[in-house]
Structure 1
Amino acid sequence: MIGGVHLEAQWRREALRTNLWVVPMLEVLLAGLLFLATWSVDRAAHRGELVLPGWVISGTADAARQILAAIAAALITVVGVVFSIMIVTLTLASTQFGPRMLRTFIRDRTTQLTLGTFVGTFVYAVLALVVIGPSSVGEFVPHLSITVCMVLVLADLGVLIYFIHHIATSIQLPRVIASIAAELSAAIEAGAGEPVPVGGVERGPTAAELRARLDAAGAAVPAPASGYLQFVRHRTLVRMATELDAVIRLDHRPGHFLVQGHQLATVWPAAAAAEVTRSFARAHITGPTRTLAQDIAFAVDQLVEIAIRALSTAVNDTFTTLTCIDWLGEGLCRIASRWHPDPVHRDAAGHIRVIAAPVSYERLVERAFEKIRQAAEGMPAVLIRQLDALAEIMVETTTEAQREVLLRQAAMIDRLGAESVSEPADREDVHRRYLAVLAVHAGRAAGRP
């Protein structure tokens, strides 16, 4: 299952990326390796085995100590400043965008690289300071290491300037919304072709027949731990079910909250349930938060949360809501045309072994529109933009079932406009947009683009 491999690699990258310590620790290790290299050259030059170029800084041991001590003190001060800026940014993001937006800022590569660059240079300066001292051929001064440390400090200044620019631009709400939408697009592309049937051969009972067997004689598999289901290793489940000649139906999808001991999956035949229960922990991952690897509804929920916050009385920022609706419409256009997950996973012989529970297209549309519609009562601008987005999505639909989902949302928005908008001209504007959605539907149903 090529798609499954890609999604698991994506989840692992995401898990590593959503940590503030991984990149800084790597940079500290690189700084240590760089020091070992320059220190080796300095030792060889001190013994007279080679001559350093003329541009290398030279001086006494006391001067070297003063330079490195001043650099180390300044760097650790700047690290504190960078950390303070980061905390202020996280606080602002939590207050303005919602606590779930913190993940977006924590995983920011620029922040991680900036913190790691300064900490790495600090470690390099301290290591260079420690090795200054007497030796068998006179006092040892690591001239090349001091020169490299000065170069690193100049590079740090450039990084600091870019970091300030990056923070000033990244906290702008349109950029935050666009970054979440980009993550949604990437998740759609990653999951567009997953799962892929192995061998392309379909044998055995159909999914409907297996569901009937599972309902009639299946055994429950309890969740081993509480938390959000973050990732499901379908390949592991398929291999497990093949060895037991069983079928596993997942009753929850990534993004659902699991309660320890409550039903997580169903297995048929029931005799295989005990073995599946013992091994199920290897096939799924739970955690305190949701992730995007197999849960594209998470990005939709993030955009909806920002939109609803903007409509609140305390914020009252209609334009932010309109921006969220634009990006939600763009994401649903991609989902309508490209995202067609297969709910079954087969083994190499073509038999269905795992029946998944992917989020439906209908549910994604409901999540994207319903809460915003409910919060936008009496706000024609928001209702009009939602209808415009529905018309754009309608153009990308591929089935009548998809179009019916959009029509239901459009009808609810039109009714809300008729009931809650007091100005007749505004009500007429909302209704005209609804008629435009109907016209696009008629064109798509007739096969016109």
Structure 2
Amino acid sequence: MDTLIMVAQLLLGLSILVGLHELGHLLAAKMFGMRVEKFSIGFPPKIVGFKYGETEYSIGAIPLGGFVKISGMVDESLDTAQMASEPQSWEFRAKPAWQRLIVMLGGIIVNVVTGIIIFVFLVYDRGETYYSRDQVLEHGIVAYDIGEQIGLKTGDKILDINGQPYESINDLSSGSALLSTNGYYTVDRDGERLQVSIPRGFINSFSNEESMSKFIQIRFPFEVGEVMPGQGASEAGIQKGDRITALDGQKVFYFDELQAVLKDKANQQVEVSLERSGNPMTMTAKVSENNTIGIGVASLLEPVRKQYTFGESIPLGVERAFGVVIVNARAMGKMFTGEVSAKNVSGPIGMAKIYGSSWDWVKFWSITGLISMILAFMNLLPIPALDGGHVMFLLYEMVSGRAPSDKFLENAQKVGMVILLMIMVFAIGNDILKLFVGS
């Protein structure tokens, strides 16, 4: 069932984005009087379809893209027979270069607009919830494996990133921070100010959502939440709402301090000092072989919550949408230099895992908005067979006054299709490798 949910979310997200992308091409083409022969979400073989006017609309069996076939255009269909005849007024090739340029940019523009709309409405509907810099400076961080590897320590208070203040603890693990050149965190460690460098290629440590949980987290004071029946805390009489203040005489204020004391107490008895409704109490609890006493915890640290008007949400949504593009552009640039591993490239399996095995509409639209902006960016790359390749040749024509020959465009299309196929094979290979050997 988990796999079905992941696949269903991926197919729905891609279908929406591909459909809108191709619709952008179709509407632009029809606006300039071009004949659109086919509109397909997914690649052949065709599952279902119908014809309306001059255009056949269909859904293909391979849901990893789509296409619009415009008469008189050298595209992935490589229909050279049509190109051998004289251009007709309703063909792509018969139209001015500026009109053809708008048609080729139509899908990209729609993906950008879609991404912006999604992010704007997410900001408006959900607002923001985060732990602030002030809270980090008050309580410090818990450094997990990945954080400790670069020199962070539990209790550090992070002052800034690359000399610049930040707003949210999420900024500390943002793409812009992890992709920094000669980046660093400035920390206050027991009153001493020092710098912790962000290593070259550090972003490779964050290949999945689970790895983010191994970096850092804010320290939080706590009280007892759920008490598990039949375990040490329950048998000792510990109750929900109790504030644990010490274990075996060691003071405990933050949850990580509780974990640290219990770490070496498996199968032992511990003396638990706590407060209940302001009254101090002492109890003895058995620690399990898993180093727990059988309680859940409730954080006593309230995150910052912000709500925005629709007007305020627009610039914030635009900023977030284009922030995705900027981070991906920087990551791609560093991939060519070897700083970012090509193993981070994911195919459909990786994308499905990002959506996750539970259906959360907020997460679904967040990821779909992110993918919409990435699709726009990727499609703008000057690779033949992508929209960006067509844009590149059209700009050449507009600047030089000479259009590339149909034969050249046909061969370029073939080369582009081979490149895209190789990228797809590589991405799917990465997905399969991760399934068997891990990230």
Normalised by the size of structure 1, how large is the TM-score? 0.22
Greater CA radius of gyration, 1 or 2? 1
Normalised by the size of structure 2, how large is the TM-score? 0.23
Q: Point out the structure with the larger helix share.
A: 1
Q: Point out the structure with the larger strand share.
A: 2
